[in-house]
Amino acid sequence: MEITSAQLKELRDLTGISVMQCKKALEEAGGDMAKAKIILQKKGGELAQKKSDRALGAGTIGSYVHSTGEVASLVVLSCETDFVSKNAEFATLAREIAMHVAAQAPLYISRAEVDEEALSKAREVFQEEVKDKPAEMQEKILQGKLDAYFKDRILLEQSFIKNPDITIEGMINAAVQKFGEHVSISRIERLSVK
């Protein structure tokens, strides 16, 4: 199948990923734009995993203050080099994540930050809810309830408020793919009048 320059441009405009990666994804997907986007997302996750052990030596702070002046947030978005941290798209990503933090009020950046006490308390509550279920299903149902509960409280697992089709982690993976280096949310702060 012949990949047209119009298809390449459309996929590049949608994803911001290099022309070569877009071309490979379109070829692999047989010209199907939706499949190509999924292939790029999958490869972004794999690439992010490969680069996750690299040192973060630069970054930017994204800020957002809601129009009411009652909610604000700051996000430290880290990367490897000043070259990337000074990029306007990188700064925009940090601001978008800060806006999301202001709106969604996550308690943790990643699942690794969930402390044992919070996990234990949630487990106690949900064990009460599953006690009448069949014994062989209780643990699976309990795990599903815990996952759903913490998904709403963990930034990387939340769906982005401006595009529910992508998670914050997906946005970070896309940034790794776009900028070619390790990108990570190092810190979040949310302030509220109420």
Residue 181 main-chain phi, psi, to 5 deg: -150, 165
Helix (H, G, I), strand (E, B) or coil at 127: helix
> When comparing pLDDT for 180 and 74, which is higher?
74
| Among 108, 143, 150, residue whose Cα is nearest residue 126 | 143
> When comparing pLDDT for 73 and 58, which is higher?
73
Is pLDDT at 140 greater than 80 in this prediction? yes
Q: Which runs of consecutive H residues, i.e. helices, occur in the chain? A: 5-15, 19-28, 33-51, 82-85, 88-104, 116-130, 135-151, 168-179
Is pLDDT at 55 greater than 70 in this prediction? no
Other Cβ atoms closer than 10 A to 19: 12
Helix (H, G, I), strand (E, B) or coil at 14: helix
Summarize pLDDT for 144-159 with one digit per residue, the tens: 888 889 999 999 999 9
**What is each CA distance from 184 to 21, 28, 30, 139, in whole angstroms?**
22, 29, 33, 32
Say what the pLDDT of residue 154 is. Answer: 96
**What is each CA distance from 124 to 63, 109, 118, 130, 145, in whole angstroms?**
37, 23, 10, 10, 12
| Among 107, 191, 183, residue whose Cα is nearest residue 151 | 107
> When comparing pLDDT for 44 and 186, which is higher?
186
Confidence category of residue 4, pLDDT binned at 50, 70, 90: confident
Confidence category of residue 188, pLDDT binned at 50, 70, 90: very high
Is pLDDT at 51 greater than 70 in this prediction? no
Say what the pLDDT of residue 126 is. Answer: 86
Q: Is the backbone of residue 42 left (phi > 0), alpha (psi -120 to 50) or beta?
A: alpha
Q: Which amino acid is at 8?
A: L
